[in-house]
Structure 1
Amino acid sequence: MDRRSHQNNPRGNPRPFDHGAEADRAYKQIHCRDGQISGLEEYRGAFQEERTKFCHSMRKQKDKVKRLEELLNYRNSGLHKENKKLVDTIVEREAEISRLNGNIENAECQHERQLEDTVALYETQQQKLSDQHNEANLVTLNLLQRREEQLRQCEDKFTKSLAEHTLTWESERQEMEMKLKEVEKKKKYQASRNKTLQTEFQQMEDRLKRQEDKFSKDLADKSRTWETEKQQMETTLNEVTREKNDMAKETLTLETEFKQVEAKLEQVEKEKDRLAENNLGWETDVKQLKGQVREQEEKFAKDLAQNQESWESRVHSVETKLKEVTLEKDDLDQKHQSEMKEVQAKLKMVRDEKKDSAKKNQRMELDLKLKKRLVQLENDLEEQKKKFSKDLAEKQLHWEQFVQRKETDVKQLENQLEEQKKKFSRDLAQNQKSWESRDSFGGDHVTGGDSGEGRPGPETPAHGDQASPDGDAGGGAE
């Protein structure tokens, strides 16, 4: 034993310590704390599940908004690329038109050269004919006049065809310019529309953000209020349940006690006899406790040396318990006397509690009303959750319809652009065909003029014996 124990115990007697009772109390407290902790953890887990569900839904909404943004960006990029392609095609068509104009100018220059060549040939032939055949001057003059008339007619036809071609080219050019203007207007309209769509999209994003912030704030406030109300209601419910249980227990105990009062009165005399026996048992128990304490002190001497300060308080408690046991022996006789008085007091209490039961019934009704209020609050919570889910679904449908409308508008614009491309390609194909047919028509005129040049030559042998160099055309003069 340590010096402190000898100082506290001047006699040197060992102090008994009841380890089992202290361990039971500690285990009970730990079990209660574990129950409270498990209840709090369950409530926290439910709250975290609701919070994760809400965060998951908000993340889904944000992902949908991002997908819609990507779709709009993809559509805008596609329209920009198609506009670039249209501009490139228009530039190519303008280059083709300029090339065709150059070809037309070259054809006109070639035709003028051919006319000049034919005129030069006619002049040389006339000089030859005038030198060789003076007698056929009248016939050649007539033929030359006819030829000049034909040339004039050809020139008139060519000028008319050129005028018609120039008119058609100018009209086509004006149409192309009008189409270019329309395309530019459509581009401007699309740009303005894209800007309006972007502004609307940004406004929708701002609205969504505001609604999310409001909803998060409302949820936070409501969750706080609901948690406080829930805690209050839980406390009230716990109190009500406790009071109910206490009432039930008290009623049962009162009934049992009321029934057992008479039995207790009969058993009082028997208990007096038992008290003497119990006193002997208490003395034996005290001796056994002292022996157990000595054994435990010998076993845990090392632990007591290390943790003596903590054990001293427990030793004091054991000593107090021993004193209480000794006092209880003395108090047993007094208790038997007081029990008679308590029985009479309990009878009065039963009567008083009957009166209090009416008040407690009123409290029970209030508790039922509180329970109904709790149920109503839970129903309101569920209705608000359903309303929020419906609002989210309606907003999603509205947003999807808006995106579908925009997609249909984009498809219509794409179809219009494709129709314009097809029209433009058809017009170009028709223009090319008309140009090719006109070129072939001009070539036929030129070949016809060359074939008719040798017709007046063969009449010269009829008037003279000299052979003309153009002898193949004699049949035509006859």
Structure 2
Amino acid sequence: MDRRSYSNNRCDTRADDHENAVEESLNKIHWRNGKIYGLADFRNACDCEKMTFAHRMHKENDMGKSLEEDAWKKKFEREDLALKQSREKRELEEKFSKMEMKLKEMEKNDLAEKHLSSENVVKQLVDQLKQQEETFFKNKPQSLETEPTKLEIKLKRVMNKNIRLAKKNKSLETEVKVLKDDRQEQEERVNKDLADRHQSWETELMQEMMMKKTDLTRRNKTLETEVQEFKDQRREQKEKENLAQEQLSWEAKERMVEDEHQVLQDVFFKRVTEEKVIPLQKMQSRKPQKDRARGAKMEEAEASINATEETENMEVTENYGEGVWSWTHQKCDSDIEWEEA
């Protein structure tokens, strides 16, 4: 039964609470920011990254399972080889034991044959001696000169045969010792070869496992670095968006301050003009017709005075605007420092 699904790509039989929590957090973020930026493409990219990451993890799990299966196969092969080697060793031991039995039987047979041959030779010699004695006593006068030399020659021959038999026995004993030494050396060589092969197989398996583990760790590190880079990119995008929002907000604030400054200048200018125009109108309404000529002259003088006063008022308004502008800049700087803190 295939337990894989969109929310459970790693074939995990346990409840996927972690993935549900991640999806809920992402949905909350989209609910908050989707109206402003429209993160449908970002959501699709996240889903694609999740799917690719899940497929990669699934492939890595399959690779781990295949490595475990290979390790088990190699373990069974080693056990089979060890059994074969033990069988071969037993067969060699049986062969050596059979050879030892055969050698012992051969030695016994040779010794028995030699013993029988020596007994036969002794009997023959005894018989010959008896015959010689008989012939000697029969033919005493004839054999007194020739018989001793013949007997000496025969005795020498018998002694030489005994010496040769002793030498053969010694040579056979040395051959048996050499065979035993050769067998021991062969056993030691076989044991050493088996031990060396076992160690070499173990070292090769350990090296292969270490290489595969290092490869898996490198792949995991690369995946972690990719995920971290993706997270860093997301953070940079968010920071850029926040900076853009802050810049837009500060531009709007500066425009509002400039508008307020302009409105204040207009209001101040209107008040100053009204304060000067109203008393002049009152004065003109009270004057009689006779004094209009004088009034004209006075008006000219007042116009000159008003011009001077207007210049003074313009200077005052400019100074006032500069003060307001510096005050707004100081306030903006203090707001920026407060937000940064």
Task: Report the TM-score when normalising by structure 1.
Answer: 0.41
Stretches of 4+ moved more than 6 A in 1?
234-240, 462-465
Q: Note the 1:270-349 alignment, pairs <5 A.
A: none
The Cα offsets for residues 28-67 of structure 1, whole Å up to 9 and x where unpaired, read as xxxxxxxxxxxxxxxxxxxxxxxxxxxxxxxxxxxxxxxx
Residue 458 (structure 1) aligned to one of 242, 245, 269 = 245
Q: Secondary structure at the match of 1:171?
A: helix
Question: Are the structure 2 counterparts of residues 397 and 450 from structure 1 closer, same or farther at C-alpha, using a change threshold of 3 Å?
Answer: same
> 2:202 maps to what in 1?
417
Give 1:178's match in structure 2, choosing from 48, 70, 73: 70
- 1:88-127 alignment, distance < 5 Å: 110=18, 113-126=21-34
* Paired residue secondary structure (2:144): helix
The answer for the alignment partner of 1:226 in structure 2 is 118
Mapped partners of 2:238, 2:23: distance in 1: 12
> Of residues 393, 416, 428 in structure 1, which corresponds to 2:213?
428
RMSD value over aligned CA atoms? 4.4
Structure 1 Cα separation of the partners of residues 142 and 245 of structure 2? 158
Gaps of 5+ in 2: 1-8, 254-335, 337-341
- Listed one character per residue, the Cα deviations across residues 403-439 of structure 1 (whole Å, up to 9, x for unaligned) are 3034223302211211211321232233234324423
- Residue 355 (structure 1) aligned with residue 263 (structure 2): no
Give distance in 1, aligned partners of 2:22 and 2:237.
Answer: 15
Partner of 1:438: 223
Residue 232 of structure 1: CA displacement? 6.5
Q: Percent identity over the alignment?
A: 10
Question: Residues of 1 paired with 2:212 and 2:157: CA distance?
Answer: 81
Paired with 2:74 and 2:103, the residues of 1 have a C-alpha distance of: 42
The superposition leaves residues 325-346 of structure 1 with CA deviations (integer Å, 9 ceiling, x where unpaired) of xxxxxxxxxxxxxxxxxxxxxx
Aligned runs of 1:240-251 on 2, under 5 Å? none
1:382 corresponds, among 167, 180, 184, to 167
For the residues of structure 2 that align with 1:119 and 1:157, how far apart are their CA atoms?
Answer: 16
Letter in 1 for 2:160: V
Q: What does residue 295 of structure 1 align with?
A: none
Matches within 5 A, 1:34-183: 110=18, 113-126=21-34, 140=36, 143-144=37-38, 147-183=39-75
**TM-superposition CA deviations, 1:88-145 (whole Å, max 9, x none):** xxxxxxxxxxxxx99x999x8646633431221220344xx6xxxxxxxxxx3xx32x
1:224-244 CA-partner distances (Å, limit 9, x unpaired): 54356458758978999x99x
Aligned with 2:192 (options 407, 430, 450):
407
CA shift, 1:399, in A, is 4.3
Match of 1:41 in 2: none
Q: CA deviation at 1:388?
A: 3.9
User: What is the distance in 2 between the residues matched to 1:238 and 1:156?
Assistant: 120
In 2, Cα distance between equivalents of 1:105 and 1:463: 55
Partner of 2:299: none
State the Cα deviation string for residues 346-367 of structure 1 (Å, max 9, x = none).
Answer: xxxxxx9653435xx1564255
**Secondary structure of the corresponding residue to residue 164 of structure 1:** helix
